[in-house]
C-alpha cells in the first residue's frame, strides 16, 4: 500500500481477534513511531507491550483495582467489565509520554511528539493490514494504574493501542466525515467597488 493511500483511507478497527502482530510487524510499528516529528530528538515516549492471557489478565486486574478505588459502589458486573477491557484485542500497547526537563522544548511539545509516534504506529498498522485502534479513558490517569505500570513522575499514559486481526471488513468513511476546516490568515478583506 502506498503511504498516501494508508494516510487517506485509514480507519480504526474496534473488533479485533488473534493473531497479534508478529515480532517483525511489531518492530515495524515501533520503527514508524520513531519517525514522528521530534524537536530535539528527545524521543519523549516509551511503550509497554501486553499480550497473552496472563499479561492481559494482569492488566485487567490493575484496571479492576483502580475502578474499585475510584468508585466503591461499582457492582461485580461493572468490575468484571473493567477487568475484561484488555481482552478486546490479543495485544495492547500502552503508549507513555516520557517528558524530560529541557530549556527549549516544553512538555506540551514532547507530549505531542508522543502522540505523533502513536499516530505513526496506527498508520503503519493499517498499511500492514493489522487492525488497530487507540483508546484512553479515565482509567489511564488513575494513580493505581500509573503505579502498577511503573510510570515515573514525569510520565503519563497517552493511550492504549489495541492490535490484532480485524473481525469485520474495514469500514469506509463518508466524504463529510473527511471534511477539514481550512482558512487563510490573515483574512482577506474584499475591496468594495
43-53: per-residue pLDDT in tens?
999 999 999 99
**68 burial type by CB count under 10 A (0-12 exposed, 13-18 middle, 19+ buried):** middle
Q: At what angle do helices 23-33 and 107-127 cross, to 10 degrees?
A: 140
Q: What is the pLDDT of residues 129-159, one digit of tens each?
A: 999 999 999 999 999 999 999 999 999 999 9
8-state DSSP, 174: -
In this structure, is residue 192 part of a structural domain? Answer: no
In this structure, is residue 122 part of a structural domain? Answer: yes
In this structure, is residue 185 part of a structural domain? Answer: no
In this structure, is residue 186 part of a structural domain? Answer: no
In this structure, is residue 80 part of a structural domain? Answer: yes
191 pLDDT band (50/70/90 cuts)? low
- pLDDT exceeds cutoff 90 at 7: no
Stronger pLDDT, 92 or 182, i.e. the higher one:
92
Task: Identify the pLDDT of residue 112.
Answer: 97
- Structural domain boundaries enclosing 12: 3-178
183 pLDDT band (50/70/90 cuts)? confident
- Quote the CA–CA distance of 148 and 58 in Å, as a whole number: 10
Q: Tell me the DSSP string of 102-129.
A: -SSS-HHHHHHHHHHHHHHHHHHHHHTT
In this prediction, what percent of the chain has a pLDDT beyond 90? Answer: 78
Whole-model pTM: value is 0.89
Task: Identify the pLDDT of residue 43.
Answer: 96
8-state DSSP, 192: P
Average pLDDT, the chain: 92
CATH of the domain at 113: 3.40.109.10
CA atoms within 13 A on the CB side of 6: 16
In this structure, is residue 59 part of a structural domain? Answer: yes
Find all residues with CB under 8 Å of 146, minimum gap 6, and list them: 155, 156, 157
In this structure, is residue 188 part of a structural domain? Answer: no
Q: How many domains does the chain have?
A: 1
In this structure, is residue 11 part of a structural domain? Answer: yes
Q: What is the pLDDT of residues 73-111, one digit of tens each?
A: 999 999 999 999 999 999 999 999 999 999 999 999 999
- pLDDT exceeds cutoff 60 at 192: no
Mean pLDDT of 54-76: 97
Amino acid at each position: 500500500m502506498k503511504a498516501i493511500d494508508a494516510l487517506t483511507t485509514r480507519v480504526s478497527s474496534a473488533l479485533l481477534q488473534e493473531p497479534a502482530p508478529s515480532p517483525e510487524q511489531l518492530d515495524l510499528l515501533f520503527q514508524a513511531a520513531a519517525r514522528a516529528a521530534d524537536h530535539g530528538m528527545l524521543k519523549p515516549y516509551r511503550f509497554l507491550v501486553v499480550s497473552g492471557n496472563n499479561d492481559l489478565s494482569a492488566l485487567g486486574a490493575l484496571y479492576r483495582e483502580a475502578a474499585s478505588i475510584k468508585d466503591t459502589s461499582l457492582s461485580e458486573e461493572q468490575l468484571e467489565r473493567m477487568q475484561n477491557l484488555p481482552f478486546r484485542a490479543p495485544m495492547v500497547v500502552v503508549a507513555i509520554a516520557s517528558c524530560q526537563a529541557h530549556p527549549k522544548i516544553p512538555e506540551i511539545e514532547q507530549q505531542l511528539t508522543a502522540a505523533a509516534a502513536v499516530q505513526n504506529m496506527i498508520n503503519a498498522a493499517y498499511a500492514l493490514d493489522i487492525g488497530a485502534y487507540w483508546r484512553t479513558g479515565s482509567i489511564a490517569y488513575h494513580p493505581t494504574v500509573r503505579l502498577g505500570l511503573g510510570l515515573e513522575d514525569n510520565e503519563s499514559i497517552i493511550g492504549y493501542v489495541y492490535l490484532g486481526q480485524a473481525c469485520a471488513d474495514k469500514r469506509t468513511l463518508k466524504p463529510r466525515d473527511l471534511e477539514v476546516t481550512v482558512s487563510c490568515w490573515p483574512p482577506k478583506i474584499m475591496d468594495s467597488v
